[in-house]
Amino acid sequence: MEIVGIIPARMDSTRLRGKPLADIQGVPMVGHVFFRSKMSKILDQIYIATCDQEIQNYAKSIGAPVVMTSIKHERASDRTAEAMLKIEAEKNKKLDIVVMIQGDEPMVLPQMIDLAVEPFLTNSEILVSNLMAPLRSEKEHEDPNEIKVVVDTENNALYFSREPIPTRKKGIHNGPMFKQVCIIPFQRDFLLKFNELEMTPLEKSESIDMLRVLEHGFDVKMIYSDYKTYSVDTKEDLLFVAELMKGDSLVVEYLHIRKT
């Protein structure tokens, strides 16, 4: 199988403009995502996909393969698909699995990527998967920037929401409560099909791409991950994550490699 990771990144984020290049321990955020994803054992290659010259310049400065994409994309999956097709044209062959790794996940661990992709290697019926991790506080449960997910007994997603689901109003505080972690592998053909599907009412209402998959009758396989990571959506998130990443062993490793 040919498996590649693609990191879609753009400067014009609605909540924190320029966040791909926001500094965390001396490294722009998208650099952390690239260096950490590159350590995955399951990926054949990792690319940055962007429409911004600043990000392209930075990618080239660290030796990261970069694909320039249209400025018109509003969804990360559209940017990822365009980049995939350009990569295929360059390689002159089709890919098998494309892993979309959001550029605002600077704490991503290579083991998380491997974990998200492994089910595809034994089950050809999986079209798309997501990682899910426990919600570790009531604050996370209430945070609209955290996408919550509820699953069935086979760990297929039933629903995603920015609202606090499942409810705590019945006094149950120790039930299964999960958040989506934006490492999203697609079967190559399904990524293209997904982008061709009409946007759906719940997807628009919640602003969550994966609801389009569910509303059109397909499954999203959720993979449990107990790794403790946080994404960056706001300035407060950036400061919080920067503090958590002080002394991070992976940061120490790839900074050392770059210096040598």
Residues facing 151 on adjacent strands: 157
Largest CA-CA distance found in the chain, in angstroms, rounded: 57
The architecture (CATH level 2) of 3-130+180-201+229-259 comes to Alpha-Beta Complex (3.90)
Task: Give the model's pLDDT for residue 152.
Answer: 96
The pLDDT value given to residue 260: 60
**Residue 68: how many other CB atoms lie within 10 Å:** 17
CB-CB contact of 2 with 44 (8 Å)? yes
Amino acid identity, position 162: R
> Domain extents for the chain?
3-130+180-201+229-259
Beta strands in the chain (DSSP E): 3-9, 23-24, 27-28, 45-50, 66-68, 97-101, 129-134, 148-151, 157-161, 178-181, 183-187, 221-224
Q: C-alpha distances in angstroms, 197 versus 69, 164, 209, 217?
A: 20, 27, 11, 11
Query: What pLDDT is stored for residue 17 in this prediction?
Result: 83
CA distance 238 to 231: 8
Residue 91, classed as helix, strand or coil, is: helix
Tell me what pLDDT residue 169 has.
77
**260 residues of the chain, pLDDT tens digit each:** 899 999 999 998 767 789 999 999 999 999 999 999 999 999 999 999 999 999 999 999 999 999 999 999 988 999 999 999 999 999 999 999 999 999 999 999 999 999 999 999 999 999 999 999 999 888 889 999 899 999 999 999 999 999 999 987 776 666 779 999 989 999 999 999 999 999 999 999 999 999 999 999 999 999 999 998 888 989 999 999 999 999 899 998 888 777 66
